[in-house]
Amino acid sequence: MTKLKIENLSKTYSNGVKALDNINLEITNGMFGLLGPNGAGKSTLMRTLASLQEADSGSAWLDDINILKDPTAVRKVLGYLPQEFGVYPKITAQQLLDHIAVLKGISSSKERKELVNYLLQKVNLYDKRNKSVKGFSGGMKQRVGIAQALIGNPKLIIVDEPTAGLDPGERNRFHNLLADVGREVIVILSTHIVDDVRELCTEMAIMHLGKIVYQGSPAAAMEDIHGRVWQKTIEREELEQYQQEYTIISEKMIAGKPIVHIYRESNPGEGFKPVEPNLEDVFFTRIHQAGTEVNLVN
């Protein structure tokens, strides 16, 4: 079983932003969700693990490979799908994967052809192998992205915001593909989309302002706040008043009216009803609590 161990990893940019603040994580085979709002530091962490940028301090090991000291070794066992997966203009899916296989050191043309055909079938794009990737839909491009990430039998696969902008059908196909891939290797899914983590990941961490504010299973996270989430449908003009009076952890519109969820130890009365917490409640509760702690410190 592969193990990724991150200890005391920190990174501060020249503008003073502390993108990574003493990160500690231990991850083994399977789908691991890294959940956080935009600007939380997720992409900085992913780029650091992919050896695309350096940390200021700390360590990261993939089994016996020192990621920060030996980037060449980690790249040999890494599959990476960045947030923006760029493609060469006018190149076909088959040509693109063949080119990347060459870059990853597969010199035999026969071996490359067999591998590329296998991967195109795996991501259900074999019939589109001679089409220009530039003309693919967002979901198809992401499937090509996963195919290239699988070249070289990686131990660690990193996917950064993979479903942003995909329609529901493409998102479901991509989820099925990721779940299949994640059986035998470590797959880190970095996203701000709560449903991606809820549907795919057995383990997760929530990141906020460069810190890990929760690590565990989605089920345990929801159990942690069981009995402390309360729901009420209110009028739109009441929303500001409720925001001042209660700790609102989430709100959504149903039939033109806001439904608010608040976090509170005991029943607040006033028409609030208990509700089973979902992962979105966990996410916003942890983010709110982390923000409160920062304010208390400051």
Tens of pLDDT, residues 72-90: 999 889 998 887 666 676 8
168 burial type by CB count under 10 A (0-12 exposed, 13-18 middle, 19+ buried)? exposed
pLDDT at residue number 81: 86
**Single pTM value for the model:** 0.85
Residues 16 and 151 in one domain: yes
pLDDT at 214 over 70: yes
What is the pLDDT at residue 298? 29
What is the tally of structural domains in the chain? 2
Q: What is the pLDDT of residues 121-132, one digit of tens each?
A: 988 899 999 999
Cβ-in-10-Å burial (0-12, 13-18, 19+) of 186 comes to buried
Diameter of the chain measured on Cα atoms: 71
Looking up residue 84, the CATH number of its domain turns out to be 3.40.50.300
Is 296 a residue whose pLDDT tops 80? no
Residues 102, 122 share a domain: yes
Domain extent at residue 291: 223-297
60 with 128, same domain: the answer is: yes
CA 70 centroid distance within chain: 24
Q: Which of 163, 193, 217 is the last residue of a domain?
A: 217
Q: Are residues 175 and 255 in the same domain?
A: no
Q: Are residues 147 and 16 in the same domain?
A: yes
Of 40, 7, 43, 1, the closest CA to residue 22 belongs to: 7
**140 and 239 together in one domain:** no
Query: Mean pLDDT throughout 249-255?
Result: 89
Task: Report the mean per-residue pLDDT for the chain.
Answer: 89
- Non-local CB neighbours of 235 within 8 Å, separated by 6+ positions: 257, 258
Domain final residue, candidates 197, 217, 237: 217
Residues 249 and 124 in one domain: no
pLDDT tens, 134-166?
888 888 888 888 889 889 889 999 998 888 777
- Same domain as 115, residue 67: yes
Alpha carbon 83 to its chain centroid, in Å, reads: 10
pLDDT at residue 73 in the model: 92
How far from 288 is each of 37, 129, 198, 294, CA to CA, in Å?
12, 47, 20, 10
225: helix, coil or strand?
coil
Co-location of 110 and 240 in the same domain: no
Please say whether the beta carbons of 47 and 14 come within 8 A. Answer: no
Same domain for 132 and 113: yes
Same domain, 177 and 253: no
Residues 23 and 81 in one domain: yes
Enclosing H/E stretch for 203 = strand 203-208
Is residue 276 left, alpha or beta, with left meaning phi > 0 and alpha meaning psi from -120 to 50?
Answer: beta
Domain end point (choices 167, 201, 217): 217
